Structure 1
Amino acid sequence: MKKFNFIYVGVLLMLLASCAMRKSSSNTTSALMGKKWQLVELDGKVVPEKVNGKMPFLTLDEENGRYSASGGCNGIGGEYTLQKNNGVSFSRGMSTMMACADMSIENGLRTLFDEADTYTVKENTMSLSKGQHGAALAKFVLVVDQSDKLTGTWELDYILDAEVGFDELYANKKPTITFDVAEKKVNGNSSCNNFSGTVKIDGNAISFGPMMSTKMACPGNGEQVFFKNIERVTSFDAQDSTLTMIMDDIVVMRWQKK
């Protein structure tokens, strides 16, 4: 009887240990899955925010065990497998074959997926490396969705490239913009004419589609300056009641929540 008790206890301990291992693994991988990661460093070199006008990224689909990525040109994808001790392996699948001006990051990503076998996640940074103690082959940062912060109406209080002071440029009326994030649309007033159009938001990347506007004649060049700058915008940062629109690393427009 004692022998059977020992066997029962041993099996129970093994099951509990197995559950604990699965739970720990789940906690580790939950920080990795179902999120979009922006490539910021490859082979020790900084990767631009956009390559060929697109953000280089990696996503991991937990349900289907597949990954998708881009180096700023073609879509790259395939299957991946997570292993114990933060191990990972990637297998290539089908991808598009478009030629782009800059293929260096894409080619580097293809090599990365052949070589990387270990991942680490620390706060909002993920690294892929070869070996537990090897130097990082690539680093990614989490793309945080800020689109909900855009909802509502904003009033402009700064714009780039104004030949005269802001208050003189918009002496009679300041431009406004209203975001309908769910419908991916915007509308507002350029300080003279009303406008409307589409907006594309991906993390903190943003771009505006062609704007339609009324055709009233406007004094000064405030409207021209407004539309010129909103076409430049590539990203945004929303903090409390202030919305900053950016081109690369240059602030082109700043808004206050109404």
Structure 2
Amino acid sequence: MRIQRTAAGVLALLALSACGTETGAGAGSGSGSGSGAVRTDLPVTGVRWDVGSVTADGKRTAAPSGAHVEIDSKGRGTGNYGCNHFTADVRIDGGTINVGQGTSTSMACEKDVQRFEAALSRTFSGELTMAVAERTLTLTAENGDSIALRAQPPVPLTGTTWTVTTLVSGTVASSLPAGAQEKARIVFGKDGSVQGTLGCNSFRGTAKVSGSTITFGRIDGTKMMCPAPRMKLERELLAVLDGRTTYRIDQRTLSLTAANGKGLGASATEATG
């Protein structure tokens, strides 16, 4: 683990600050916005705030898939920079916040993601202000750099189409092989079934969910030959979908980890009903 200033944790607790100002703002809702109170009709706890972009030194950079912020009912901020997970605490003073120290994982990530994470860390330090409008949260630093976030509803494990975005081996996370992006999808059924595509071939099998674990049974699939990157992805995924795994859902992101240390990250793309 490495200790660093983390802005994303700030985002989460900043959203909590918005919740704290709701009551006062609501009492004076007919008197205009001159008081400076931030108002929102959204609940800020138990909501996933997806990071959309960071603007630093006049350059806007889109966030990697999976970058997000969440807060619990106690105001603890957690999330993901796009590759590494984090937690953080901040001090809230009226409409401003000051970033405290936090912790984050230190997995090796793709270079583009590493650059984004570095920009996010640099941007979110010191004093920040916030603005909430409908489902959008904007955080702005004193020098004008900012981050844009949007609230997303949580999704269930079953009945959701999960598109695989990341492969994990131990503490190292990596993007999918070139040419295999968005080729693998997994859907868990309420009847204990699992089906989808593995990058090349379609598959179907069983998946028993119990607490935070999923135990995969036999996986049957088609036998087509595909380009090498997609076949490589298929082998990697079969190593994860084998026997007992642990899983976690962060609003719209699914993480699966097998006993052998192999794992995957996936994002919700659509509901199947």
Give TM-score, length-normalised by structure 2: 0.47
More helix by share: 1
Larger Rg: 1
Give TM-score, length-normalised by structure 1: 0.49
